[in-house]
Structure 1
């Protein structure tokens, strides 16, 4: 069976040093492992009935009813910390379910030229919990390492999900490299500062901030340019923010605008997110209006 080569290859201090090296220093695809297993390799079956076998009747194959990645939430990865998340497959077969497999992959197709990213499960065998004699939910974990698995910023966005299931008869296999899609995103940060404070009523308040996101190639956070961000305000005795205006980040990700002081309250910036970058809200900055 196949196990995640990138995890097995580095450990302890070596793992830390490997993650500290910017991917830009690596050749081509860096140290990313792109060797996706076949159904037979994953389940250790040399001769099996599968979705690709003309000899297998549809009713003999496992039936997948649900595949879940990271509880349905996008996988968001920063610059230094690896992100471990759970994936699961719910499937049924008359002989029960013995094992399952899930990976996430990125690219135009599964050819050597088309495939440019893979996130493999950490375990060789899934943990399967039966809900009946025929149906089980099988869980695995996947760890995404910035600068290693995620070695270039172009990997942010939509990934495809592979799902595989081995029935309890040890022969019947379900395998679909296009089972679903899932978002893998670059972690985002947003700051805000409203000044002066305190300020007299009717005077001008300048609200600055910065929107940045993880750069997997350099290992630092860089400004996210040309993005629409909402300036919001809530009164001191309120729990609800109201949008005052929408402005765009400049060429370095910075934000700056002005408003007129009217009452005590909190200012914040709110970014709604994109396909590659998650939504983020700055913590409210209080201004005392006198």
Structure 2
């Protein structure tokens, strides 16, 4: 992280005791909760949540368990904002933390950190024990080599490394004598010990289940060597190229049996071919999967046991997930459902412009012992809820053995935004299978908030003007807005009759408004109708407006 370079001023020695804090200071403290502080090996980071720190900011360091500060830090560097568009380019407050330069203290040890600054009236504010700064010898791995190109037949390499301890007081280094290191891969961690010279040279054996190092295009794995108790930044990383071989999956059976919608056990064995073409078990812990459903790992001798979903007769894929050591391999298993019934396809749902719903789905039945009639529930779940409500129950005849039949429910009232499903509840003799839900289904409501026929009354033969506005509802936020470019049919019904006749057509503008002028002839009612469209909007009728023609 780049930042401006500023020195940190440390005053060593006793500073005359703890600074007094006025009684009223807390009332005028601009940061009553104090700052957020974190540390690394040599620096202290202070964050008040604002781009500029308080006036006269100072850090006082005390040996833990004592009351007398032994150092004060008064100068800081502003951290640079590395992502000026987080959370957004408009709302990013910029970097709010400041940091000290690497500290040079007289003694190693643990220091309590007190934070001091000026209050709103210039009084001294003091927050004690805001953090603990651990000032210690800094372990580092200075050199690290991995010799050898391993493969599954030869997984052992030689590791050589040197580790040191850096003294932050003067940056001097000494060997990490008899120190503890950690060798880490994606599969395992191994402890190593240095000798009196801080050196280690030892064999290391890979498990054969390490993952690819995705930062390169090579067939390699990543190995990290770091001091025990320290993060990877104190160590070194090496990438080791490994040998690659082909694999096979042998299933104990290519079919599984179970009720529709349940899981059935599957066993098998995964192997690889050595340089002589001989099949050998993959390492224990090799990752595998029932494709897009679940993952599992091999056990000893390459054996595995997993659960395969019975989803009708849909074929399931068993995959050995490729590693640097092993190729991708696939095997296929076909479920054979026992006596059961269910739905496997997402139901088809249409909503007409006249607020009628039609739902259709394919009902699959397996191994039925005799012809029967199965009851199917058509259910709806409103958006924002978790409750399924049964809207209709349908009888579906079924033959003995296996069969499929389309189930349809038509002309149901539109209940609002939500999802639909067909659900066979099952019986003791015929268990229930899956009941997938539809995609979210809705149309937009429309309405005429304004409609008028003017003037009223009107003389026969004079013009009469029909005006109005059409709105549509946004189902996501519930807001109504103008519906533009909509065809509006205008109807007239003469007084004393029951027959409506089409009088003319208007089209809404961008503001949802429309206008149409006619010649007044008879007393009667005027009304506007929007007939909806093919997929998106429902129909709507305006109010009736009676006009007296004189």
Q: TM-score, normalised by structure 2?
A: 0.30
1:163-212 CA distance string (max 9 Å, x none): 4535424645255567xx89511111024210111111011111111111
1:114-167 CA distance string (max 9 Å, x none): xxx97776139x6996869979x9x9xx9756xxx7xxxxxxxxxx85545354
Q: Which of 219, 244, 247 is the aligned partner of 2:478? A: 219
1:238 aligns with 2:497: yes
CA contact (8 A) 1:50 1:61 kept: no
Shift of 1:46: 4.4
Q: Structure 1: how far apart are the matches of 2:457 and 2:473?
A: 34
Partner of 1:51: 312
Aligned residues: 206
CA contact (8 A) 1:193 1:208 kept: yes
Report 1:167-246 matches (<5 A): 167-168=426-427, 169=429, 171=431, 173-175=433-435, 184-190=442-448, 191-246=450-505
Partner of 1:279: 539
CA contact (8 A) 1:207 1:257 kept: yes
What secondary structure does 1:239 align onto?
Answer: coil
Q: Structure 1: how far apart are the matches of 2:522 and 2:392?
A: 57
Q: Structure 1: how far apart are the matches of 2:353 and 2:547?
A: 34
Shift of 1:44: 8.5
CA contact (8 A) 1:74 1:183 kept: no
1:268 aligns with 2:527: yes
Q: TM-score, normalised by structure 1?
A: 0.53
CA contact (8 A) 1:230 1:269 kept: yes
Q: Which runs of 5+ in 1 are unaligned?
A: 1-42, 77-84, 105-116, 150-159
Quick one: structure 1 residues 166 and 173, their matched pair in 2 at CA, closer, same or farther if it must change by over 3 Å? farther
1:53-95 CA distance string (max 9 Å, x none): 433369854489xx7979x76796xxxxxxxx99898968548
CA contact (8 A) 2:261 2:432 kept: no
Quick one: structure 1 residues 192 and 128, their matched pair in 2 at CA, closer, same or farther if it must change by over 3 Å? closer
User: Which structure has the highest helix share of the two?
Assistant: 1
What secondary structure does 1:237 align onto?
Answer: coil
What secondary structure does 1:184 align onto?
Answer: coil
CA contact (8 A) 2:374 2:398 kept: yes
Report 1:1-290 matches (<5 A): 45-47=262-264, 49-53=310-314, 54-56=334-336, 61-62=341-342, 94=368, 122-123=387-388, 162-165=421-424, 167-168=426-427, 169=429, 171=431, 173-175=433-435, 184-190=442-448, 191-274=450-533, 275-290=535-550
1:256-281 CA distance string (max 9 Å, x none): 12111111111111111012111111
Q: Which runs of 5+ in 2 are unaligned?
A: 1-259, 265-308, 315-333, 400-406
Quick one: structure 1 residues 267 and 182, their matched pair in 2 at CA, closer, same or farther if it must change by over 3 Å? farther
